[in-house]
């Protein structure tokens, strides 16, 4: 069982990512490069002025007392950005940085000269983490949010009382790829269906692209299998009854607690890591986690066969893995208990706060800056805790160097939760 101290150290190291092969820079030219590699909702925070710079139409707060309450000219729903900004500033960020809390952050943010600007994201490619500092996504990763750990008691339903079926509900939003071998340009579900409705794509062409989307492919394969209880629910702007290809896959919503009545909950990636990952791991049911190229702030704490059962990206081993589960029921039950123990640490607000400060301190150190003590900090933070935190941060840095020096494993044997 991992200790709280080790949990904090590992979390800081993971969120910061490796520090080899590049260095953080405050050069405006580097910031411009990283901003161009980020989404159109990226925010450039100016620490000196306590407001966002003129990038992507972000405007400062109307209240100087709440500088994180930034506004956007074209979008009213800015809580993902403003919420993360509030937490980063609250953790002591006293330097300029970029913040991009959009999904599917896959582009390299390292210049040819090996420089990167401090950039906070909620997801990154696990094979290319350099320059992306992971941060919890507001609402979906908030400790008290049902979207995070589900507000579930993992022991509420005894294992023996659960149904032997596999369950999933979720929105149809996904990305697919064009081309004969699904290796062409990426396309989202909405524009794909618009092309079909306009006659630009034939039915067969549309179905071919749909099958390159994780969620659609899984439902297309198993929707009529009595062992599975799967279905789309209205979300992401879809009215399923009006959509070709999707209407037949619509199923009633299931209350979160009712998922606990099933032994197996499949976690299907959306545009990056499946949003149901953490509450599925906290459900007391076995999470069947479909492999995904992305990681978030806490995926590294969960390992295949220790905390969940892995499923290949092409879904080719689903029957094999379910067969193993059928003949290893006690191992499955123990797996759910281990996952729930990790989730207890994820639900600890004090640990979350320590990790946040540690990550911000780590970015500052990589910038070569020193933390400026304030009257408020010295009055509210006991010296003993400051010393303990510095020890944790040093160990996290040491762990990062160990990770960076270790040869990378092949994706087939990677031991982290990706989906």
List the domain boundaries for the chain.
Answer: 4-143+348-413, 159-174+213-346, 179-212
- The pTM of the whole model exceeds 0.75: yes
Tokens matching residue 362: 């780590």
Contact (CB, 8 A) for 140 and 147: yes
Contact (CB, 8 A) for 34 and 418: no
The beta strands (E) that lie in 234-383 are given as: 262-267, 286-290, 294-295, 309-311
Q: Does the structure show a pLDDT above 60 at 416?
A: no
pLDDT tens digits, one per residue of 58-83: 999 999 999 999 999 888 779 999 99
| Residues with Cβ within 8 Å of residue 218, at least 6 apart in sequence | 168, 230, 266, 268, 290, 315
Phi, psi of 296 (to 5 degrees): -125, -170
Helix count and strand count (H, E) for the chain: 12, 18
| 308-320: average pLDDT | 96
According to the model, what pLDDT value does residue 176 have?
Answer: 85
| 252-264: average pLDDT | 97
Task: Say what percent of the chain tops pLDDT 70.
Answer: 89
User: What is the Cα–Cα distance from 302 to 89, expressed in whole angstroms?
Assistant: 28
Count CB neighbours of 330 within 10 A. 8
Class of domain 159-174+213-346: alpha beta
- Range in 54-58, 238-242, 367-371, 376-380 with the lowest mean pLDDT: 376-380
Kindly report the average pLDDT of the chain as a whole number.
89
């Amino acid at each position: 069982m991992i200790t709280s101290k080790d949990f904090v150290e590992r979390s800081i190291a993971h969120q910061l990512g490796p520090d080899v092969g590049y260095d953080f820079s405050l050069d405006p030219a580097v910031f411009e490069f990283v901003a161009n590699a980020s989404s159109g909702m990226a925010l450039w925070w100016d620490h000196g002025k306590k407001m966002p710079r003129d990038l992507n139409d972000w405007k400062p707060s109307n209240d100087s007392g709440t500088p994180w309450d930034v506004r956007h000219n074209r979008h009213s729903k800015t809580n993902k950005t403003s919420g993360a900004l509030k937490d980063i500033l609250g953790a002591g960020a006293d330097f300029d940085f970029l913040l991009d809390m959009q999904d599917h952050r896959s582009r390299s943010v390292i210049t040819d000269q090996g420089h990167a600007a401090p950039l906070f994201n909620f997801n990154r490619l696990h094979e290319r983490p350099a320059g992306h500092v992971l941060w919890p996504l507001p609402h979906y990763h908030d400790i008290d949010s049902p979207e995070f750990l589900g507000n579930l008691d993992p022991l509420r339903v005894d294992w023996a009382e659960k149904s032997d079926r596999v369950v999933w509900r979720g929105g149809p939003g996904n990305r697919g790829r064009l081309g004969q071998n699904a290796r062409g340009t990426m396309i989202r579900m909405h524009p794909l269906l618009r092309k079909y409705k306009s006659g630009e794509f034939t039915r067969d062409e549309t179905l071919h692209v749909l099958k390159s989307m994780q969620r659609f492919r899984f439902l297309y394969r198993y929707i009529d299998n009595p062992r599975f209880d799967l279905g789309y629910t209205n979300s992401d702007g879809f009215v399923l009854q009006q959509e070709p290809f999707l209407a037949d896959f619509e199923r009633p919503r299931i209350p979160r607690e009712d998922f606990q009545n099933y032994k197996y909950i499949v976690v299907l990636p959306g545009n990056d890591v499946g949003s149901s990952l953490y509450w599925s791991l906290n459900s007391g049911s076995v999470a069947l986690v479909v492999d995904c190229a992305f990681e978030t702030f806490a995926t590294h704490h969960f390992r295949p066969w220790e905390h969940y059962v892995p499923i290949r990206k092409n879904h080719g081993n689903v029957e094999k893995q379910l067969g193993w589960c059928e003949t290893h029921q006690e191992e499955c039950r123990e797996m759910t208990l281990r996952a729930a123990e990790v989730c207890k640490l994820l639900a600890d607000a004090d640990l979350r706060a320590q990790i946040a400060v540690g990550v911000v301190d780590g970015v500052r150190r990589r910038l070569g800056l020193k933390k400026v003590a304030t009257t408020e900090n010295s009055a509210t933070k006991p010296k003993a805790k400051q010393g303990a935190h510095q020890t944790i941060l040093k160990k996290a840095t040491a762990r990062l160097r160990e990770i960076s020096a270790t040869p990378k494993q092949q994706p087939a044997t990677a031991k982290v939760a990706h989906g």
